[in-house]
């Protein structure tokens, strides 16, 4: 993924970005980078879920650069998102998160 596609909140979409973070440091493996991205996003996702009022289950979803992209291109931003599904082709959001 090279960028996050913006879509209207009223149309069907996979997730809603609830925050962004910046990766720092060096990583030996793709897994280490992904672990750090999830670590950065976890507090943002939890804080947002705590504010939701509709009683549905939401899942944290992290969009981050690949290790090679991080190292060579300096792309270091991580998008922290919430979604209604923890699997491909699951339920979609059709409105903004009920904050």
Structural domains counted in the chain: 1
Flag whether 40 is in a domain: yes
Nearest CA-CA partner of 80 in 67, 97, 68: 97
Instruction: Give the pLDDT confidence score for residue 72 in this predicted structure.
Output: 96
Instruction: Give the pLDDT confidence score for residue 6 in this predicted structure.
Output: 87
Instruction: Give the pLDDT confidence score for residue 22 in this predicted structure.
Output: 98
Flag whether 29 is in a domain: yes
Give the pLDDT means over successive 10-residue stretches in the chain (99 positions).
78 94 97 98 97 95 96 96 93 94
Instruction: Give the pLDDT confidence score for residue 76 in this predicted structure.
Output: 97
Instruction: Give the pLDDT confidence score for residue 2 in this predicted structure.
Output: 56
Q: Tell me if 44 sits within 8 A of 92, measured CB to CB.
A: no
Instruction: Give the pLDDT confidence score for residue 5 in this predicted structure.
Output: 83
Domain of 74? 15-83
């Amino acid at each position: 993924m090279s960028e996050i596609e913006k879509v209207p909140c009223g149309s069907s979409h996979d997730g809603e970005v609830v925050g962004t973070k910046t990766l720092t440091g060096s990583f030996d493996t793709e897994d280490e980078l992904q672990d750090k991205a999830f670590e950065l996003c976890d507090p943002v996702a939890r804080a947002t879920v705590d504010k939701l009022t509709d009683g549905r289950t939401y899942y944290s979803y992290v969009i981050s650069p690949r290790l090679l992209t991080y190292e060579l291109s300096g792309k270091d931003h991580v998008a922290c998102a919430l979604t209604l599904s923890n699997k491909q082709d699951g339920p979609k959001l059709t409105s903004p998160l009920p904050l």
